[in-house]
């Protein structure tokens, strides 16, 4: 009996049917497993503008919520500043008259005590002023003697009344001329307690103790500008840091105000207080000068140094929130406020000045409200 076999063209068709059946069985098995897997809990449920965090949500472990208390807020503001010498401890020494500098007793950097001779100048006009004063004094002495003689003669009724009156007039004129000559000599530095004169030379002394910080002449030179300082003596043991405040900041300035000064020359800031606020605005810059005194016995602060002064404005009641609580949404800033336990609503804020890691809230929040202060960005749209 002959064996019956399938034709060759049937074999591929049977194999295809078997493969298709196997794939279908696999897909059906996967769908069955997916149907059996439980759904993951929702991390966030949106109900209109309200955001609710379900009990099993992982957000409950990451979000941090804190109340916003009302507190005293002192807003800092920064002003450009410069180190200046104390005007009461700086003297620009001018020569009393034009003349030749015959001796420089002090040079740049030299320490000076009050009353020490700084320089000696030979001034021809001073010699003339001394001669005029001596001549006037001699005339006064003669007029005084003549007046006394005429008074004695008048008592004896020997001199006429006219001679006595003439002697009195001559004496008054001589006294006036002597006073004028002495005043001119004093102005030239001849008879004051500060300079000391010998002939035509004037020894100019320092009015304060300190150090020579500027010198504009050399020994042997001729100085003909009596309005320009020849030498500057300054006591820099105390200096000022002077800041310029704009008109908008004037209301926030007061004596005793706390300040921090940052100098370009040093890394560590200085702590100080406002010692003086100018009474008038500078008409050119429309600013008010604020001076902060500093002890400078170590000489670290050099007049002319640039600085930045950060002042704390007058304290006022306000609200501060961490910067981490502020979420930027386009051009607006907002925070998420807890209206019920684990239910939040976005609130648009009006912000003020940043103070360290916090920022002042001018509008949008009330004292005591609770806001998300950590990972609030996870609630953002």
Per-10-residue mean pLDDT, the chain, length 381: 46 47 49 51 82 88 92 92 94 86 92 93 70 79 85 74 82 83 66 45 90 92 86 95 93 92 93 94 93 94 95 91 91 92 93 91 94 89 63
Kindly give, in sequence order, each residue whose CB lies less than 8 Å from that of residue 174, ignoring residues fewer than 6 positions away. 136, 139, 140, 142, 143, 144
Sole residue written with tokens 């500093």: 294
- Kindly report the pTM of this predicted structure: 0.64
Q: What's the confidence (pLDDT) of residue 256?
A: 93
> Tokens in use for 48?
């209109």
> How long, in residues, is the chain?
381
Q: Which domains does the chain have, with CATH numbers?
A: 50-71+316-379 (2.40.420.20), 78-88+236-312 (2.40.30.170), 95-123+188-228 (2.40.50.100), 129-187 (1.10.287.470)
CA distance 207 to 209: 7
| Nearest alpha carbon to residue 321 among 349, 298, 286, 296 | 349
CA distance 269 to 251: 25
Kindly give, in sequence order, each residue whose CB lies less than 8 Å from that of residue 133, ignoring residues fewer than 6 positions away. 178, 181, 182, 184, 185, 190
Q: What's the confidence (pLDDT) of residue 123?
A: 75
Largest CA distance in the chain: 201
């Amino acid at each position: 009996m002959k064996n019956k076999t399938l034709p060759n063209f049937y074999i591929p068709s049977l194999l295809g049917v078997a493969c298709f059946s196997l794939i279908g069985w696999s897909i059906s098995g996967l769908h069955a497993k997916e149907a059996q897997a439980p759904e993951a809990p929702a991390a966030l449920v949106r109900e209109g503008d309200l955001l609710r965090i379900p009990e099993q949500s992982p957000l409950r472990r990451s979000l941090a919520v804190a109340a916003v208390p009302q507190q005293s807020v002192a807003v800092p503001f920064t002003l450009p500043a410069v180190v200046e010498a104390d005007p009461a401890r700086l003297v620009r020494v001018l020569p009393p008259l034009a003349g030749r500098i015959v001796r420089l007793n002090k040079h740049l950097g030299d320490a000076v005590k009050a009353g020490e001779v700084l320089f000696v100048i030979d001034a021809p006009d001073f010699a003339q002023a001394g001669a005029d004063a001596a001549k006037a004094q001699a005339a006064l002495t003669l007029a005084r003697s003549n007046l006394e003689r005429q008074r004695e003669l008048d008592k004896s009724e020997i001199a006429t009344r006219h001679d006595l009156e003439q002697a009195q007039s001559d004496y008054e004129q001589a006294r006036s001329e002597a006073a004028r000559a002495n005043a001119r000599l004093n102005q030239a530095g001849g008879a004051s307690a500060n300079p000391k004169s010998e002939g035509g030379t004037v020894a100019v002394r320092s009015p304060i103790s300190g150090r020579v910080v500027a010198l504009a002449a050399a020994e042997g030179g001729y100085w003909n500008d009596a309005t320009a300082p020849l030498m500057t003596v300054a006591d820099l043991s105390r200096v000022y840091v002077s800041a310029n405040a704009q008109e908008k900041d004037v209301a926030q300035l007061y004596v005793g105000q706390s300040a921090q000064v940052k100098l370009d020359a040093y890394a560590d800031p200085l702590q100080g207080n406002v010692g003086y606020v100018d009474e008038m605005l500078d008409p050119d810059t429309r600013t008010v000068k604020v001076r902060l005194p500093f002890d400078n016995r170590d000489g670290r602060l050099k007049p002319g140094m640039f600085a930045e002064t950060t002042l704390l404005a007058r304290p006022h009641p306000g609200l501060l929130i961490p910067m981490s609580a502020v979420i930027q949404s386009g051009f607006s800033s907002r925070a998420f406020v807890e209206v019920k336990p684990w239910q939040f609503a976005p609130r648009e804020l009006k912000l003020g000045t940043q103070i360290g890691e916090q920022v002042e809230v001018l509008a949008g929040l009330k004292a005591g409200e609770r806001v998300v202060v950590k990972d609030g960005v996870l609630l953002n749209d």
